[in-house]
Every structure is written in structure tokens, then in C-alpha cells.
Structure 1
Amino acid sequence: MKKMIANLASREKRIAVLEDGVLSKLVITPDHQRSTVGNVYLGKVTKVLPGMDAVFIDYGAEKNGFLHRDELPSYQLTKNSDGKAAIGQFVRQGEKLLVQVSRDEAGTKGAKLTGLIEFSTETLVYIHGMDYVGVSKKFKNEHKQKRWREMALQNKNRDEGLIVRTSMENESEAVFLERLSSLREQYKGLERKAATLKAPALLLAKDTFLMMVMNEMSQTAGGQLVIDDFDACRDLKKWAQENHKEWEISHAPGPQNVFSEMDIEAQVEKMNKKIVWLDNGGYLIFEETEAFTVIDVNSGKFTGKVAKEATLFAVNQAAAKEVARQLRLRNISGIILIDFINMAQSRHEQEIKDIVKKETAKDEKRVQVIGFTDLGILQVTRKRTSPSLSELMTVPCPVCSGSGKIESPETVAFRLERELLEHRKTDDEAVWVEASKAVADALLGEKESYRQTLEELIGKRLFLSFIPGSMNAYSIKRFGSIQEISGAFK
């Protein structure tokens, strides 16, 4: 059974999704990092990139957004578009466009935008700027599926795309026309608003968090939802009733944190740990970079009671299931390389690949399992629409700049020595250096045995004070006479 815990009481909004009692998805939205996916803006084309068939759009964010030619209504509605037409035929620099965010900013990359503005309901998706009709493949009745396709084709305009969802199957024609009219009016309202504003401007901000809750509830007929915001609880109960959802929705009044009350908080704290232990004693190591994510599988404490190949295969089986869960849980996207333990039998590789495919099929984001490389690394891609939990919850370390390593005391000490040697021919009698204790020890040697030699090499008296903390660093404060430096040093 599906269960959701929604923590909306503070500025940071959080949703935990549990399936059969196991945490399968965690959404965290800090107040300053709210997703803009679905927001509609009046943007301005700042640069046309013919070589990439794309444009940069100033839509009011810190970084300009990226919009590909295929996402332009002017391209989509050109009947003879063959994929070779230059982008300059469809858009020009300085032009104003209605754009919608389809993927948030991530790292150094700006948001991905589309000019095909989309609005959706439980039964119908409306896309302005393209000539398209789609009907859900999950219809149980093939005749009804054909009927709704004809209905959509008859009632849409040439510049409209319609997708008929599964929940429309047993609805009436009147409901379809009412929803279509409402969605059309939403788009026309945006056009009217855009006509009164200067670019860049926000036209529509979606409450993506409540939409996420509703989307999760829509995926199953029923379940349990515990939420700590009374107004949101009331709105969701109304929505569930209107959409015939058999969800048990309850309000958690507090004052205790609802995540702590439901034993979720401890699991959240584990999300940024690099190591994830498997039930059988094996473990995974996660290394996220801007370019890709590497997951290393290790046997750990698991030794097994059978042959080596069967033992390694058992670890890899458990790892394959946990990797799929962790990708969704941590919202890891882009290129993912999984270094499973090497197995001698090729059929075992195929079985591991099949497990990953089966488990990632539960993910709402598109996951492609490409296959094993010659080195035995499984290649996977997962569609990116928002930052990972690691990007949301952490910042690069100010000491190591996110590398996980810092320069050794010896490296820093020898750099200081070289800098001091550059001043050996100046007339100054002394120098005052401030350094961390570890750097000072590396510079002067055990019991300052190298001090005299260093002072002779640089031709100056060395005054040394210490920088507090564990960072290996130094600062040359000043040069001068012995009297000047000793006076300042005191």
C-alpha cells in the first residue's frame, strides 16, 4: 500500500513516499530553491545559436534559459519541417516569446525551456503551439480509445495539441468540451496578460508542491496521506472527492515534527551519505559529479555459503534493486555508471540488467538501461528535471571546494618556502608569516631543526604566528626591519 507523509509546516516543504512500508521517494523543496518547472514567463531572445539549433532566453532568472528549435511553435506548425531548417527561419534575436520551464537550473546549466505551453487536468492535457493528438494506451476499451481520438481531432484547432488521459475513458462528451474550453481560456488569459507586460516577466507560477502531492495520489486508486498543514489537507480532501480517489487523508496537528513522528527523519539524514549498506552485508558507494554519477558495488561483510560466482551474483542482485530505489530516492539523474562486482558468466550480467530494468520501470522519470561496457560497468541514464537531493541539501565544502581532498601540509609549506625564496635578495631584515600549525611544522621541521637553514637561505629573520583551525594555509603578513616586525608581531 502507498503512504505519503507531507511536511508543509516550515518553509522547507517535504514529501516522503512509502511503498509497502519502504521509503521509495523523497521530495525536498527549500524555500529559496522552489522548482520553477511548469511556470510560464514572457521571455526575450538574447542569442540565436545556429550551430546548436537553439536560442538563449532571458526570462528573469539569474541564468538565461535554453530553448531548442523543436520547442518553438513556429517550427512545429510548419508543415514542411524536415529537421534541417535553420533556426533563424523561426525566431530572431530580441523577439518576445511565451516560454514554460521544463527543467530547472542545475549546476552551471540554465533552465530548459519550451515554447509549447502545456496545461493539464486529470483527464486532458492541452499543449498550445503544436498540431498533435494522443490518446492513452491504457484504455481498456479499444472502441472508446478510437472514439476519443476522433473527438479530439474534431474539436481541436490547428495550433493545439491534445492528450486524452486514461481517466477520460468513461467521461461524457460534455465533460471533454468543458475541460477543453477551460484550458483554452487559461492560455488566452496568459496572452492577454503578456500583452500588458515587458519582458522578462512571470505570467503563471504553479504550486508545484501541491501538484506533486496530487500527482502521487493520482498514480494509485487509494492510499494514506498524513499532512501537517490544515488548509492543504482540506484542499486535498476536496480534490480527492471530486476526482473519485479513495485516499485516507488525515491532518497531523503537531507540535511534533510529522517526519519524526512517522520515523522518516532518520532516513532523511542518511540521504547524503556516500555509503549505503545492503541487507546481506554488501554496500554501495555513491560518487556524484556534475558530469555523471558513479556507483560502486562491494561485497563488504557478505561472504556467502556457496561458490564464489553465486556469492558475487547474490550481492549484485541485491545491489541492482537498491540502486534503482536510491536513484529515485536521491533524484540522481543524467549519466549513471554502476560498477557491479565482476561476474564470470554473461547470463548473470543479463539477469542483473533485467533486474535494473524491472525496478526502474517503477520510476516516474524515464530511465534507460543501456547495457554493460567491456569493463563490466552498467550504463544507465535518467531524465533530469530538477536538482538531486545532494544538490538541494548540500553546498561545496569551503575548505576542499567539494573535491573531498585538501593540499597536504608539506605541499603548502613548500609553496611558502618558494615564495619566501623569491624575496631573498630584498633589503628587508625580517618577515612575519602566519600559518596553520601543521604547515609551520612541515616548514621548520621537527623541533624547528630547519629554521636556521631557512633563515640563511632567505636572508631574513622569520617570525611565525599560528592560524587557528584545521585548514592547511599560510599568509605572509609583512616584510620589514627586525624592530618593525617584532613590534608588530607582539
Structure 2
Amino acid sequence: MKKLIANLSTREKRYACLENGRISKLEVVPPNHASSVGNIYLGKVTKVLPGMEAAFVDYGEKKSGFLYRDELPSYQEAKRSGARKSSVNQYIREGEKLLVQVTRDETGTKGAKLTGLIELSSNHVVYIHGIDYIGVSKKFKSHQSQNQWRNIAHTHKKEDEGLIIRTAMEEKSEAIFLKQLHAQRGKFAQLLKMAASLKAPSLLWQRDSFLESILTEMSEVPDGELHVDDFTYFQELKKWQEAHESDWAIFYEAGPVNIFSHLGIESDAEQALKKIVWLKNGSYLIFEETEAFTVVDVNTGKFTGKAQKEQTLFETNMQAAKEIAHQLRLRNIGGIILIDFINMEQVQHRHAIFDTLKTETKQDEMRVQLIGFTELGIFQLTRKRTSASLSEKLTTACPTCHGTGKVDSAETVAFRLERELMEHRKLEEEAVLIEADEAVAAILFGENNSYKPVLEEMLRKEILVTILKGNDHRYEIKRFGTKNELMKVRENLLT
């Protein structure tokens, strides 16, 4: 049974989806990382790029959004009339104002991806303005029902409208379809009216993406359990339950204890940010996320196996494949993903790994494309990215290592200090005061301070030092001067 736990009582909103008692998805939205996907803006074109058939649009955020030519209503209209494909600057110009909708949040150095084909969704129908298109859910029970709804949509659709009939529409009447269609047309007309009275850039409509995400999770299965700790959200969800005659059981958790801790999943949620993921057999995975792609390394770890070497490696890789599919969804890792499985000699084992990943990723709501093994034995796949991953949302680069995961050794820092001191050897001052951590000072002065007099002779200065506390290797040259005045300064630093 599917179970949702929604922790909404604080500024950071989050929910966990549990399947068979295990977290399969974790959505976390800090107040400054709320998704803009689905938001509609009045934007202003800042730059047209004919070479890329795209344009940059200022929609009110720090970075301009990226809009492709094919996402313009004017281009789609020309396409319908049979016109030949022309450059983007035939359909849009710098300084022009237009409605845009965010389809992918900005990530890293990349701005958001935008579309001019505005999409408005309801429980049964998706309305898209600016494109001639009809789509019917593939989850319909019969082809006859699919064709029937495709014909109904074609009858009522206008030329510049796209309609997608959702699964929930299959058992509903044409009257319900028309009611929702007219409501969406009215909503779009209202957006145009608002845009006419505002300056660009302006936000026209903001979706409650978090509530929608929860409702989407609930819509995918007929029943389940939802535990929520915010009474306002609880009321909204109960209204949805009653309106849709849903069999979901919704519980309001009013206790003072964090709902994740109360229901025993806080520690599991924290594991989603760990770099290393241990598997049941003692092997482990290492996740390395970069801006360009994500690398997953598979290691045997403590697992030695009882069978032959090839079988041991195959068993490790099979377990890793299942866990990787789970972790990609849990961590919301998108883009290009490279998996360094342990090398296997038998071709059928590689095929089995491919088939396992294909089966496991079918549960993912994001589109996953499997490329396969390269000549070097690296498995390639892509996962659609619509928002930042969990680590991008919840972590920041280490101020000491600046995100590299490594810091300079004590030796490197000590010799850097020595070079810097040598640059000042011609100064006339009698002494120099430095601060350094214990490991750096020990290497600078040598074993039992044997190198200290040598260094002082080369500098023609006495070196006074205070020891910095902490584990990171660092130093600071405080000042030059007479020995007496620097000793007073050192005393002040030590008190």
C-alpha cells in the first residue's frame, strides 16, 4: 500500500512517499527553493539568438529564462499554415512582451527553461494554448474509449489549442469535459487581461506545486494513507477527497513531535543526502554529482561471495542496479548519469543488468532513457530533469574545500607559508608573528623545531607563533615588528 507522510508545519515543506514500507521518493522545498515550474509570467525578450534558434527572456528572476523557437505560438501558427521553417528572429524580437511558463527550474549556472505554449491543467483535461494537438492517456482501459475521446476533443477544440485527455476522464461524461474546457479557456482569457494591464516582467499565476505534487501522488493509485501535520492542508486535501470520492485515508497528526520522527522515517530521509549507499550484501555505491553529469561507482566492499568471481561480481551489479534506480528517484537526480559497474566478462550478464534497470526505472515518474554500456564498460542513461536534485536544494559547497571534497595537506600549507615568509626576508623588522594550526607549525619548524633556527637565519628575523585550534590546515601572517611588541600582541591573542 502506498503511504504519504507530509511535514508541512514549518517553513521547509517536505513529504515522503513510502512503497512497501520503504521511502521511494522524498520531496523537500526550502522556502527559498520553491519550484517555479508551472508558474506563468509576463516576460520581456532580452536577447534573440538566431544561431541557437532561441531567445533569452527576463521573467523576473536573477537569471533570464531560455525559450526555444518551437515553443513560440507564432512559430506554431506559421507551421500550421505550411510556411517553411524560418529563423527565430522571424517570430520574436528583442524587447517584445509575451506570456511564458516555466517548464524546468534553473539549476546551477543554467537559467530556467520556458515555453510560450501556456498549459493549464485540471483533474481530467490539460489545456495548452498556442499549439494544434490532441493527446489521450495511454492508461485508458480500451482503444475504443481512447478513440471516442480523441473524436470528442477534436470536435470541440479550436485550431490554436492543444488538449490532453487524462486517465480520470475515461468514465466521465462529455458535459464534464466541456465544463472543464470552458473553465480553462476562461482562465487563459483572464491571464491575457491581466497581462494587458501590467509591466514586464510580472508574475501572473503561481501554482501551489507542493500541494499539486501530493495530489498527483494520490491520483496515481485508488487508495492509500496520507498523514499530514498542517490543518489548512488537511482541510484542502479532505475537500479533494470528497470531490473525487477517493478511497484514500487522510489523517491529521496534531502532536508536537516532528511527524517524520514520530512515524520513524527521519533517519531514512537523512540517508538520501549521503555520498555512500551501502547495499545489503556489504557492497556499496558512491554518488558524485557534478553540473554536467552524475557518476555512480559500484564497489564490492565487504562482499566476497561464495561462488566464482564472475558470479560474485554479477550478483553485486544486479543488486546495485536495483538500488541505483531507487536512489535516482529518491534523490531526484536528473540529466546524464554514468554508472561504473564492476567489470563483467560475460555478455549475458551485461544484458541482464540492462533488463533490470529497464524494469526498475519503469516505476519512475520521470522519463528515463537507457543508452547501455560503452566500450569502456560505463553504463549510460539519462533521466529527465525538471527541478534541482535533493543535494542541490539542501546542501552547499564546503567553505574549506569549496566543494572539491579535499583540502590542502599540512605539508602543502606549511611550505606555502615558508615561501610567503621568504618574500618578506628583506624587510628590516626584527621579528614576525604568525598564526598556524599545530600540524602546519610542526612541519614548518621541523622535528623538535630543528629547522626553526635555519629558517630564522634565512629570514633574518625571529619567528613568533600562536597555535590555531581546529582541524583545517591554515595560517596567517599577523604582522612584522620588534620582538617585544609582537610578544605583547601574541599575549593579547592568547587571552
**Interval of TM-score (by shorter of Structure 1 and Structure 2):** over 0.9
User: RMSD across aligned C-alpha pairs, in angstroms?
Assistant: 1.7
Q: What is the match of residue 108 of structure 1?
A: 109
Matches within 5 A, 1:292-331: 292-331=293-332
Q: How does 1:90-101 map to 2 (within 5 A)?
A: 90-101=91-102
1:7 CA drift (Å): 1.1
Would the aligned equivalents of 1:75 and 1:81 in 2 still touch at CA under 8 Å? no
What is residue 179 of structure 1 aligned with on the other side? 180
The amino acid of 1:396's aligned partner reads A
Match of 1:213, SS state, is helix
Task: Give the match for residue 72 of structure 1.
Answer: 72
Q: Match for residue 35 of structure 2?
A: 35
- The equivalent residue for 1:358 is 359
Q: Give the AA of the match of 2:463.
A: L
Match of 2:437 in 1: 436
Please give the secondary structure, in 2, of the residue aligned with 1:431: strand
Q: 1:488 offset after TM fit, Å?
A: 3.6
Q: How far does residue 119 in structure 1 lie from its aligned partner after superposition?
A: 0.8
Aligned residue for 1:49? 49
In the alignment, the residues of structure 2 paired with residue 294 and residue 23 of structure 1 have an alpha-carbon distance, to the nearest angstrom, of: 22
Amino acid at match of 1:473: R
Q: Kindly report which structure 2 residues correspond to 1:383-394, keeping only aligned pairs within 5 A, or say none.
A: 383-394=384-395
Report the Cα offset of residue 82 of structure 1: 7.9
Residue 306 of structure 1 aligns to which amino acid in structure 2? A
For residues 367-378 of structure 1, the aligned pairs below 5 Å read 367-378=368-379
Write out per-residue CA displacement over residues 396-446 of structure 1, whole angstroms, 9 at most, x where no aligned residue.
111111111101111111112112212222333332222222222121112
The DSSP-based 3-state class of the residue aligned with 1:77 is helix
Whole-angstrom distance in 2 between the partners of 1:110 and 1:457: 54
Give the stretch that moved more between structures: 300-309 or 170-179: 300-309
Matches within 5 A, 1:214-253: 214-253=215-254
Shift of 1:387: 1.1
SS of 1:361's equivalent in the other structure is helix
Q: CA deviation at 1:230?
A: 1.9
* One-letter amino acid of the structure 2 residue matched with residue 66 of structure 1: F
Counterpart of 1:11 in structure 2 is 11
Matched residue of 2:99: which SS?
A: strand
Unpaired runs of 5+ in structure 2?
none
What do residues 191-241 of structure 1 show as CA deviations (whole Å, max 9, x unaligned)?
Answer: 111111111111111111110010001111111111112222222122123
Q: Would the alpha carbon gap of residues 422 and 316 (structure 1) be closer, same or farther in structure 2, given more than 3 Å must change?
A: same
* Greater Cα offset, 244-253 or 138-147: 138-147
- Equivalent residue for 2:212? 211
The aligned counterpart of 1:120 is: 121
Contact 1:116 1:129 in 2 (8 A): yes
Query: Residue 227 and residue 489 in structure 1: after superposition, are their counterparts in 2 closer, same or farther (change >3 A)?
Result: closer
The Cα of 1:329 is off from its aligned counterpart by 0.6
TM-aligned CA deviation for residue 83 of structure 1: 8.5
How many Å separate the matches in 2 of 1:402 and 1:137? 44
Distance 1:155 1:2, change over 3 A: same
Q: Distance in 1 between matches of 2:483 and 2:49?
A: 62
Distance (whole Å) between structure 1 residues aligned to residue 357 and residue 83 of structure 2: 36
Match of 1:132 in 2: 133
Which is worse superposed, 378-387 or 294-303? 294-303
Post-superposition Cα deviations, 1:143-163, rounded to whole Å, max 9, x if no partner, equal 332222222222222221111
SS of the equivalent of 1:151 reads helix
Q: 1:361 to 1:82 in 2, by over 3 A?
A: farther
Pair 1:422-2:423 in alignment: yes
The letter of the residue matching 1:324 is A
* Aligned equivalents of 2:170, 2:93: Cα separation in 1: 42
Percentage of matched positions with identical amino acids = 58
Q: Which amino acid aligns with 1:8?
A: L
- 3-state DSSP of counterpart to 1:78: helix
2:404 is aligned to 403
Partner of 1:23: 23
Shift of 1:350: 0.6
Q: 2:203 is matched with which residue?
A: 202
- More displaced 10-residue stretch of structure 1: 237-246 or 203-212: 237-246
Give a deviation string over 1:64-109, Cα, whole Å, max 9, x none.
Answer: 2111122111112212678852111111111112111111121121
- 1:461 to partner: Cα distance: 2.3
SS of the aligned residue for 1:98 comes to strand
Amino acid at match of 1:269: E
| Distance (Å, rounded) in 2 between the aligned partners of 1:82 and 1:459 | 82
Distance 1:345 1:107, change over 3 A: same
Map of 2:272 onto structure 1: 271
In structure 2, relative to structure 1, the CA distance for the partners of 1:257 and 1:486 (3 Å cut) is closer
Paired residue type of 2:21: G
Distance 1:13 1:83 in 2: 48
Q: How far apart, CA to CA, are the structure 2 residues paired with 1:481 and 1:45?
A: 63
Question: 1:365·1:383 contact (CA, 8 Å) conserved in 2?
Answer: yes
Tell me if structure 2 keeps the 8 A contact 1:135–1:148: yes
> Comparing 352-361 with 453-462, which one deviates more in the overlay?
453-462
Say whether 1:466 aligns with 2:462: no
- Contact 1:16 1:25 (8 Å CA) reproduced: yes
Mapped partners of 1:174, 1:209: distance in 2 = 30
Q: Distance in 1 between matches of 2:367 and 2:354?
A: 16
Quote the Cα distance in structure 1 between the aligned partners of 2:454 and 2:7: 64
Q: Distance in 1 between matches of 2:301 and 2:85?
A: 53
Matches of 1:255 and 1:143 in 2, distance apart?
Answer: 53
Please give the alpha-carbon distance, in whole angstroms, between the structure 2 residues aligned to 1:448 and 1:346. 61
- SS state of the match for residue 222, structure 1? coil
C-alpha separation in 2, matches of 1:467 and 1:72: 60
Distance (whole Å) between structure 1 residues aligned to residue 427 and residue 408 of structure 2: 29
After superposition, the C-alpha distances for 1:214-271 in whole angstroms (9 at most, x for unaligned) are 0001111111111112222222122123223221111112122211121111101211
Compared CA separation, residues 125 and 309, structure 1 to 2 (3 A): same
State how far apart, in whole Å, the 1-side matches of 2:343 and 2:133 are. Answer: 47
Partner AA of 1:310 in structure 2: Q
AA of the residue aligned to 1:319: A
One-letter identity of the residue aligned with 2:459: I
Q: Cα offset for 1:169?
A: 1.8
Deviations 1:19-60, CA, capped at 9 Å, x for gaps: 122211111111221111111111111112222222111111
The residue aligned with 1:88 is: 89
Q: Residue 66 of structure 2 aligns to which amino acid in structure 1?
A: F
Q: Residue 343 of structure 1 aligns to a residue in which SS?
A: coil
Which amino acid counterpart does residue 40 of structure 2 have in structure 1? V
User: Counterpart of 1:394 in structure 2: which amino acid?
Assistant: T
Cα pair 1:42 1:98 within 8 Å, conserved: yes
Kindly state the Cα deviation for residue 165 of structure 1 after the two structures are TM-superposed: 1.4
Relative distance call for 1:83 and 1:360 in structure 2 (3 A) is farther
Partner of 1:259: 260
- Mapped contact 1:292–1:336 kept (Cα < 8 A): yes
Show CA shifts across 1:85-138 (max 9, x none): 211111111111211111112112121111111111121000111111112222
Match of 2:59 in 1: 59
